[in-house]
Structure 1
Amino acid sequence: MANDAPAGNTLRDVPANPSGRDDPVRAVLTAYTRELVTAVDDTLADFLTTEVDALAEIDAAMGGFAATARDHVLAGGKRVRPTFAYWGWRGAVGGSEPLPPVLPALAALELLHTFALVHDDVMDASTTRRGRPTAHVALAAQHVAAGRRGDPRRFGEAVAVLVGDLCMVWADRLLARAAVPPARLLDVRGCYDQMRVETVAGQYLDVLGESDAARWSVDRALRVARYKTASYTVQRPLLFGAHLAGAGSDDALVAAYTHYGRAVGEAFQLRDDLLGVYGDPATTGKPAGDDLRTGKPTVLLMLARQLATPSQRRALERAGAGGGDREIAGLAELVADTGAVERVERMIADRVAEALAALDDASIDETARIALTGLAGTATDRRA
């Protein structure tokens, strides 16, 4: 198999027979990720330079607006979606196909992700993302610094919506640059569109849940996790990659990816639920306890209410009432006391096991099988 960097051909091969978290596979997966992230970021930077320059020709202010959107795209992140899409593609084509023809499609997923993040931050009134101000907060600050009239917060939120919209359009434009046969690209586009529909559905349920938390349930919280996160983080990117490789909807590999992706994606969100309460802000880039402060009906909080004693349940009703750091820390301790944290950890482990079982009988490139086995762990056992 090839041993070239992404810009030339495929990524380096992973040795077979992983034996645990600390074996060479983990180190090689890290190298894979580093190389793929570099290739995706280079593709995005080249594309966005042209796009920002074109918008700057309309008006100097448009150039600044477009540069803000570009900066949020290139502000870091784990590039999880392009990574799963790459392995979905690689699992189908093996190690001999060149990477550059599909790189625009992989990178387009990161533009879609930026669209979702920017809009999500507006809806959640989040102030930080990846350790820096969210788009709407940064734009409000620009409004103040420029001495403009009107409400800075309103301006920041309105322009952030436009930033997200622009990233969505950019994603479509970059996807169209993938050098694959037109009929195949149309099939890829169908998968991409379904991913976007499911993301919107999950986001709506997430917003609805915050306004109707008293009548929410564990099952409904899991449905949010499935559509808001699992679909567009793992499952659909894997299928996106498979369709880039020419796999049909009735292909057995597509069925394996569907089961693996749903399980790992749900586990990914369950880990996010835990990090949202117990994560270190210095590592996650977001304040701890926001989900409890707002009363977001996550699986974790729904389970805590289900498992709580009557007195614990009454105390948990304070979730969503705001409160200072001491009150939120007390609620976090109470959630753990109900046994909900242990239950969520078991749910994560069960889903990872389910995902790995889905790969057992799949006809898949062996390097991709090993990589997806490793990613099932790294995506769901993390600190950020």
Structure 2
Amino acid sequence: MANHTLEGSRCEAIPRQSVSQRALIGAVEGTLADFLASQIAALDAVDPALGGFARTARDLVMAGGKRLRPTFAYWGWRGVVGPTEPVESVLPAFGALELMHTFALVHDDLMDESDTRRGRPTAHRIFASQHGEHFGGSAAILVGDLCLVWADQLLSRTRLPAATLLEVRDRYDRMRVEAIAGQYLDVLGESDPASWSVERALTVARHKTASYTIQWPLSFGAALAGGDRRLDEAFRVYGTTIGEAFQLRDDMLGVYGDPAVTGKPAADDLRTGKPTTLLMLARRMSTDAQLAAFADGDIARRAQIIAETGAPRRIEEMIRVRVDEGLAALSEAPIHPDARAALIDLATAATQRPA
């Protein structure tokens, strides 16, 4: 069990109180690093090729990112237990969420045929450079699967009563099912965009992103603390609304984001034809002439036409409304003040981000 944060090669003790975002991320990454080192050693002993495979998986897990899921889980937990409870016993559970996230990213990148993630080659591109495209796709699927198994293993190391872990596991499983359901709808939408709608795009956002980025991590964290049913509705509303706003911001970044900041190719959603809420709104708000120009235009022209329809302004308003609703749900929730303040800050950070 890790009891340190990582800053390069330097280790520090975890404060036995509410920790800063930087210290929390360091503590989670320290837990992951210790766990992954033992897993790599076990596979290395079987065959050196397996050790290399596991190291690639580790590098994908440790390649940075916002670590939003463990962060929201931490504040869901802290909102129940208060500011002084030691965090060490639940660090494996927080790390498990990051392993699950890597599973989702690796498979999502393969489905989207993305070349980069966090400014680095995606898993299937890494493996394709070794033995070709077919091998790259196959190995990426296996890396994702391995991360999901590792998530289960790490979660099982959480030092809590069995009854508490059963409730935690129930929420964890529901989170996974909703994420996979949302991903399927996302793939379906790309395959049949003509039948898609704004409402269906929001359903995808609610399941693929909101539930497994914010809503269920918060609920998962509260369950780690033994739960407080009075928080369930507040966390559900906050998680759904802020999660949807998070995805709406992602839709905007997928068209107008700076690749140097986002770490992903420019206008990836326009290239793949992903029927996001932004694109569906633009289609609904377009004139016949704009629709015709969009069909014939290149990527830059399509982005310009979307802006001309007014859809980006509508998306910004949708984000604002959802953030307001989410924060209102927190205002009367029986959580500790430091957790409420942190969740307010996170709502802004998650929905007004440049990447």
Asked if Structure 1 and Structure 2 have the same fold, meaning a TM-score greater than 0.5 normalized by the shorter chain, the answer is yes
* Residues 11, 35 of structure 1: 8 Å contact kept: no
Partner of 2:346: 375
Amino acid at match of 1:183: A
Partner of 2:96: 108
* Residues 235, 261 of structure 1: 8 Å contact kept: yes
* Residues 294, 301 of structure 2: 8 Å contact kept: no
Partner of 1:80: 68
The Cα offsets for residues 25-52 of structure 1, whole Å up to 9 and x where unpaired, read as xxxxxxx211111000000000000000
Partner of 1:349: 320
Partner of 1:173: 153
SS in 2 for 1:303: helix
The Cα offsets for residues 344-373 of structure 1, whole Å up to 9 and x where unpaired, read as 000000000000000011000000000001
Partner of 2:59: 71
Instruction: Give the whole-Å Cα distance in 2 for the aligned partners of 1:68 and 1:292.
Output: 30
For residue 160 of structure 1, the aligned residue among 140, 146, 149 is 140
For residue 301 of structure 2, the aligned residue among 307, 330, 339 is 330
1:193-208 matches, within 5 Å, as 193-208=173-188
Partner of 1:359: 330
Provide the identity percentage. 62
Partner of 1:262: 240
Amino acid at match of 1:142: Q
Which consecutive unaligned segments of at least 5 residues does structure 1 have? 13-31, 144-151
Paired residues, number: 345
Instruction: Give the whole-Å Cα distance in 1 for the aligned partners of 2:13 and 2:224.
Output: 16
Shift of 1:8: 4.1
Partner of 2:249: 271
User: Are residues 1:235 and 2:223 paired?
Assistant: no
Instruction: Give the whole-Å Cα distance in 2 for the aligned partners of 1:77 and 1:161.
Output: 20
Partner of 1:9: 16
Instruction: Give the whole-Å Cα distance in 2 for the aligned partners of 1:221 and 1:79.
Output: 25
Instruction: Give the whole-Å Cα distance in 2 for the aligned partners of 1:60 and 1:278.
Output: 43
SS in 1 for 2:218: helix
SS in 1 for 2:351: coil
CA RMSD of aligned residues (A): 1.3
Runs (4 or more) in structure 1 with deviation over 6 Å come to: none
Seen in structure 2, the aligned counterparts of structure 1 residues 341 and 352 have a Cα distance that, compared at 3 Å, is same
Which consecutive unaligned segments of at least 5 residues does structure 2 have? 6-11
TM-score normalised to the size of structure 2? 0.95
Amino acid at match of 1:274: M
For residue 288 of structure 1, the aligned residue among 234, 249, 266 is 266
* Residues 131, 284 of structure 1: 8 Å contact kept: yes
For residue 120 of structure 2, the aligned residue among 118, 123, 132 is 132
User: Are residues 1:189 and 2:169 paired?
Assistant: yes
Instruction: Give the whole-Å Cα distance in 1 for the aligned partners of 2:155 and 2:14.
Output: 18
Partner of 2:84: 96
